[in-house]
Chain A
Amino acid sequence: MSARELQAERRTPPWTEWIRQGESPATVSEKPEALDDLVVLDCAVGHYGGHVLAGFLGELGAEVIKLEPPGGDPARRWGPPDATVGGEGLAFLAEGRNRYYATLNPADPEGQALLRRLAARADVLIEGFPAGQMDGWGVGYRQLEPLNPRLVYVALSTHGQFGPRALSGRGPEYDLIDQALSGLVFLTGEPGDDRPERMPTRVGSWISAYAQAAWAGLATLAALHWREGSGRGQMIDVSGAEALMRYLEYTILLYHTAGTVRQRMGVYDLAVSVYTFVPVKDGWAFIAGYTDANFGAICRIMGRPELAQDPRFRTTLDRTEPENRAALREEIARWSVNHTASEILAKVLADPGPGVVVFGPVNRPTATLAEAHWWERGCFGRVVDPVYGPLLLAMPAWRMTRTPPRLKLPGRPPGYHNDHVYAKYLGLGPARVAELRARGAI
């Protein structure tokens, strides 16, 4: 190698190039997994937060074993009415990744005995039954802790495992219920009257389940870190309503300090303006620029520099005043509606500053899927699964240079891995598994 080549080799690549290589989706399978020493029992039945949590831990490398009742998890039927795969609901399959599918009947004494033996070998157990149900079956944390003091036991519900409503408020649990209790529904939607489209509004996806899974995953990993030193597991209680409520920023503090009940504001933001949706020639777009410099950039891009000097819009406080905020949105809309989102984005990206405009289209899902950025970064993956055929799935959200998360297996039918799981963990052969199955224990 010549001195010159050596020098070129040693040249530090720019950050973007270096990190692109360091996180390259193409090299993920060559790297180790952060959690691949963990065994997780996914006992969540009919519980989407638990379903997502099991997937999160599986993406990060844990060996996850789903234990569902012999007839299959009722969540397998969840999904839109007009599309299924292999008879399964799309919601279930979207998050059924990276686990071994075994059956076990937790209501059956023999099933309970098997669950106790599995829990004795596990690091984490996830459940989403009504509070106290597992305990009533003799397989709650109270009974499992003596068998395995290192166990981290994660219980997911709407109202939690303690507190006045834990018992009295118990009822069927749905994402919409959690969203309502969290306060997010109250803050979302067009202000107004009792017309249905002007009511407080839900988030379109099962967002409380994702919030619950993220919190439970975070708490589980904190508990596992603490276990390194203490040798002890513990019980973790995560409410889907509280999981989302913790994301509500200053809503409650504003009530405490000013007595003000934060209200829903439609397309506006209480704290900042411009920060809104405007119509464009080909749909809708988001546009923001609320500091003086950034608002000045919006005016420049619109070809309306004089707007920045308009007494209604001169300062950040002027622009957040409700009447001015609406007038300003009208001004922008009159301009934006004559241009496509990509025309405006091109202007935004070409603007030399000062100030920065934040702009982008309101993408329909298929429009997001048409953008190269997400594909290059590996946010989506098309897999051809031997059971379910071709599937388009969202990939893990984290990028990690040393232990990147990954998708290994989208899902499987109930009990698909029974022989493997019961042989590996309990030493039971196929004959014994068949007997247990015939008796309804698994």
Chain B
Amino acid sequence: MAESYFDWTARLFDPALLATKPEALRGIRVLDISVIIFGPATADFLGELGAEVIKVEMPGAGDVTRILGNAECFWKNVSVAFFPQNHSKYHIGIDMHHPEGQALVRKLAARSDVLIENFKPGTTEAKWGLGYRQLREINPRLIYVANTGFGQWGPFAEGRASYDGLAQAVSGLTAISGFEESPPTKVGNYLGDWFGGCLAAMGALAALRWRDRTGEGQFVEVAQCEGLLRALDWTWLYAGLTGRDRSKTGNRDPVFVPSGIFACRDGAVALVAGADAELLGLLTALGRPELAADPRFATAAARREPAHAAALDALIGAWCRERSREEVEAAARAHGFAVARVMSGADQYGDAHFRARGSVWELDDPVYGRVVDYGPAPKLSATPARHKWAGKPVGWHNDYVLKGVLGLGDGEIAALTRQGVVGRWGDRRGAKPPDDWRDGAPRL
């Protein structure tokens, strides 16, 4: 008898073999001169797929995410906010304000395939001589990725700063999320940074495919606001056809009814029964199968009437409140409607499924020890994505990059260090190694 599908996929994606498999972007070098999340995440996603990422930071302090957050966020002298967008990178401290620092970055750009930055439009060119027009002269194959809030040009592009929260607000995302009577709903993560970073990495690889075909590099840009407004499904078509704004519908998905977030005894679940058969299953679980024939609920169209949807929500809410999440999940499996836990970080941490898939990824890091983080999202059978080490203190890999990539000698490096052009961490939280790090200087 043929092997079952799930036995076969277990072999095809076997985590035990992951480290023995090649990496899709091996040989691609990414020069990451960006800061905070949007740019660094773009580089990180390419690194997960096998690119060598060199992260340039200001000697002394480094990237500001190293100190982002309240006291609880600090761990071993650095904020936990630093790690999720800085895996497996080579950390070099170069002062880009210094002409010799700029020369070093130019040399690295000449030897790189992709450069990623997220400064205000024109900054790299005007301030540091590291703009696309300058770098393409020395490396026409370079793919230059620039991430911003509003784009490189246009009425909002000049002089207007952006953060993720602003992108959520101006894109229209805030206005279509949450409850009509409540204050605006801020999505709980920096969604525009992460989704925009994912799009930017995809754009970089589309450009890489063009380069594979023709040898030509190019300039690629993604704006945070524009990434989010591209992710609002039917919002724009609806506004164009009706002249109206899509309204907020809270936790009900207006397309699939009933749907919502419901409190159970031990937490919340998401529940959806969009198809007729799913609704019958749900009502059977609720002990009210006869309601499936009720004209208020018999068709998808009838169920979407707000009063009818609210009546279903009330029944579901009362039923869930009496039960544990596990009981509701079991009923959904038995009766064929959709339920999932509203998972917290703690739920995910202990989840055997996410662990088995490497979506919760445990690293044994030489500096930080056990690090548990979200692993790469896509699973590739032949060239699996992976994390190799955690983010490192500022300038940790100076030798690796300056010697191993640029071939500088000890004398040159010493001179650059004396002038403050290159450097490592200062004695400050965020930038420096953990207090218990006793193994001296990092080695090439």
Chain B residue with the shortest CB-CB distance to A199: B261
Taking a contact as CB atoms under 8 Å apart, the answer to whether B209 and A221 are in contact is: yes
Nearest B residue to A389 by beta-carbon distance? B241
A27 on interface, CB distance cutoff 8 Å:
no
**B174 engages A80 (CB within 8 Å):** no
Note all chain B residues with C-beta closer than 8 A to A2.
none
Closest to A132 in B: B5
| Chain B residues whose CB sits within 8 angstroms of the CB of A317 once the complex forms | 70-71
Q: Verify if A340 is at the interface (C-beta below 8 Å from B).
A: no
- Complex CA distance for A138 and B174, rounded to whole angstroms: 44
Q: In the docked arrangement, what's the CA distance between A66 and B105, Å? A: 45
Residues of B180-212 whose CB lies within 8 A of A: 181-191, 194-195, 198-203, 205-210, 212
Asked whether, in the complex, the Cβ of A225 is within 8 Å of the Cβ of B173, the reply is no
Assess the B338–A177 pair: CB atoms within 8 A.
yes
A358-369 vs B: 1/0 string, CB under 8 Å? 111111111111
* Closest B residue to A181 using CB positions: B340
A196, A249, A369: the one contacting B189 at CB < 8 Å is A249
Chain B residues with Cβ under 8 A from A1's Cβ? none
Residue A30 interfacial (CB < 8 Å): no
Fill in one digit per residue for B357-395: 1 if any A CB lies within 8 Å of its CB, else 0: 101100000000011111111111111010000000000
Stretch from B54-62, B91-99, B118-126 contacting the other chain: B118-126
What's the minimum C-beta distance from B346 to chain A, rounded to whole angstroms?
Answer: 5
The reply to whether B6 and A393 contact each other, CB–CB distance below 8 Å, is no
- Residues on the B chain within 8 Å of A159, using CB: 353
**Which A residues lie within 8 Å of B227 (CB)?**
397
A221 touches B202 (CB 8 A): yes
Q: Is the interface of A mostly helix, strand, loop or mixed?
A: mixed
For B195, what are the chain A residues with a Cβ–Cβ distance below 8 Å? 207, 210-211, 214, 247
- Cα(A216)–Cα(B198), bound, Å: 10
Query: Chain A residue with minimal CB distance to B45?
Result: A218
Tell me, in angstroms, the Cα distance from A232 to B22 when the chains sit together. 12
Establish whether residues A205 and B81, one from each chain, have CB atoms under 8 Å apart when the complex forms: no
Binds A, one of B263-271, B290-298, B398-406, B408-416: B263-271
Residue of A nearest to B70 (CB): A320
Q: Which residue of A lies closest to B275 (CB)?
A: A172
Q: Which of A12, A82, A245 contacts B359 (CB 8 A)?
A: A245
User: A317 to B79, alpha carbons, bound, how many Å?
Assistant: 14
Asked whether, in the complex, the Cβ of B208 is within 8 Å of the Cβ of A205, the reply is no
Contact A377 B151 (CB under 8 A): yes
B17 to chain A, nearest CB (A): 13
Q: B169, A362: Cβ atoms under 8 Å?
A: yes
CB neighbours of A399 from chain B (8 A): 151-152, 220-222
**A248 (CB) vs chain B CBs: closest residue:** B189
Q: Quick check: B166 and A368 within 8 Å, CB to CB?
A: no
* Chain A contacts for B235, CB-based, 8 A: 205, 365
Determine whether the beta carbon of A359 is less than 8 Å from that of B236.
Answer: no
Tell me the smallest distance from the CB of B287 to a CB of chain A, in Å.
20
Residues of A within 8 A of B345 (CB): 183, 186, 248, 251-252, 254-255, 261-262
A79 touches which of B251, B255, B259 (Cβ 8 Å): B255
A246 in contact with B341 (CB, 8 Å): no
Please, how many angstroms separate the alpha-carbon atoms of A15 and B151 in the complex? 13
B49 touches A222 (CB 8 A): yes
Contacts of B208 in A (CB 8 A): 221, 225
Task: Please name all residues of chain B whose beta carbon is closer than 8 Å to the beta carbon of A34 when the two chains form the complex.
Answer: 206-207, 209-210
Partner of A242, one of B68, B157, B275, B357: B357
B242 interfacial contact with A, CB 8 Å = yes
A428 at the interface (CB under 8 A from B): no
**Within the assembled complex, what's the spacing in Å between the Cα atoms of A225 and B51?**
12
User: How many Å lie between the Cα of A37 and that of B81 in the bound state?
Assistant: 40
A68 close to chain B: CB less than 8 A? no
A203-B173, A206-B233, A261-B346 as given contacts; A403 in contact with B341, CB under 8 Å:
no
Chain A positions within 8 Å of B207 at CB level: 34, 400, 402-403
Which of A281-289, A300-308, A419-427 lies at the interface? A281-289
**Separation in Å of the B274 CB from the closest CB of chain A?**
7
- Given known A215-B377, A242-B359, A256-B349, contact A392–B237 (CB-CB < 8 A): yes
Known pairs A16-B158, A171-B337, A253-B373; A277 contacts B237 (CB<8 A):
no
Interface flags for A175-214 (1: CB within 8 Å of B; 0: not) read 1111111111111111000101101111111110111001
* Complex interface: chain B residues within 8 A of A201 (CB): 177-179, 185, 250-251, 261
Q: Which residue of B lies closest to A161 (CB)?
A: B9
By beta carbon, the residue of chain A nearest B374 is A246
Q: A314 interface residue, CB < 8 Å from B? A: no
Interface band, chain B:
35 or more
| In the complex, per-residue mask of A260-301: 1 if CB is within 8 Å of any chain B CB, else 0 | 111011111111100111000000111010000000000000
Residue in contact with A364 in the complex, picked from B68, B172, B343, B381, CB distance below 8 Å: B172
Is the CB of A382 closer than 8 A to any CB of chain B?
yes
Chain B contacts of A254 at CB under 8 A?
72-73, 80, 345
Q: Is the CB of B220 within 8 A of A400?
A: yes
Interface presence of B304 (CB below 8 A)? yes
Q: Which of A94, A167, A171, A256 contacts B236 (CB 8 A)?
A: A94
A83 touching B250 in the complex, CB below 8 Å, given contacts A22-B219, A234-B381, A402-B218? no
Does A401 reach chain B (CB closer than 8 Å)?
yes
A363 contacts across to B, CB distance below 8 A:
169-172, 174-175
Q: Interface segment, A3-11, A85-93, A104-112, A113-121?
A: A85-93
Known A221-B209, A226-B24, A392-B241; judge A185-B342 contact (CB<8 A): yes
Residues of B within 8 A of A243 (CB): 377-378
Question: Out of B170, B209, B382, which one reaches A361, CB within 8 Å?
Answer: B170
Complex: how many Å from CA A258 to CA B81? 13
B109 on the interface (CB 8 Å rule)?
no
- Contact residues in A for B190 (Cβ distance below 8 Å): 249
Of A81, A203, A382, the residue contacting B301 (CB under 8 A) is: A81
Cβ of A347 within 8 Å of any chain B Cβ, yes or no, is no
Is the beta-carbon distance between B199 and A196 smaller than 8 angstroms? Answer: no
B253 on interface, CB distance cutoff 8 Å = yes
B44 to nearest A CB, angstroms? 10
Which of B127-160 touch A at CB < 8 Å?
Answer: 131-133, 150-160
* A169 nearest CB neighbor, chain B only: B353
| Least Cβ–Cβ distance between B208 and chain A, in angstroms | 6
State whether the Cβ of A140 lies closer than 8 Å to any Cβ in chain B: yes
User: Among the listed A95, A372, A402, which residue makes an inter-chain contact with B155, where contact means beta carbons less than 8 Å apart?
Assistant: A372
B380 A234 Cβ-Cβ under 8 A: yes
Q: Do residues A277 and B183 form an inter-chain contact, with CB atoms below 8 A?
A: yes
Which residues of A lie under 8 Å from residue B242 when comparing CB positions? 82-83
Shortest C-beta distance, A338 to chain B (Å), equals 18
Q: Is B239 an interface residue (CB 8 A)?
A: yes
CA distance A434 to B320 in the complex (A): 51
A238 within 8 A of B: yes
Task: Report how far A380 CA is from B171 CA in the complex, Å.
Answer: 12
Best-surrounded residue of B230, B273, B370, B378 (most CB of chain A within 10 A): B378
Cβ–Cβ contact B383 & A222, under 8 A: yes
> Chain B residues near A377 (CB, 8 Å)?
151, 153-154, 226
A-B contacts, 30 listed (Cβ < 8 Å): A34-B210, A91-B233, A160-B357, A163-B357, A177-B338, A185-B261, A189-B185, A199-B263, A201-B261, A202-B253, A204-B249, A222-B24, A222-B25, A223-B382, A239-B359, A243-B377, A243-B378, A247-B198, A249-B85, A252-B349, A256-B373, A257-B75, A270-B73, A366-B239, A371-B156, A377-B153, A377-B226, A382-B240, A391-B237, A402-B219
Closest 9 CB pairs of A and B: A392-B240, A187-B188, A247-B194, A180-B270, A219-B378, A221-B205, A204-B177, A204-B176, A234-B382
Further contacts, 9 of them, CB under 8 A, given A204-B178, A362-B174, A363-B170: A48-B233, A162-B6, A180-B341, A183-B347, A197-B181, A211-B198, A248-B374, A253-B373, A402-B216
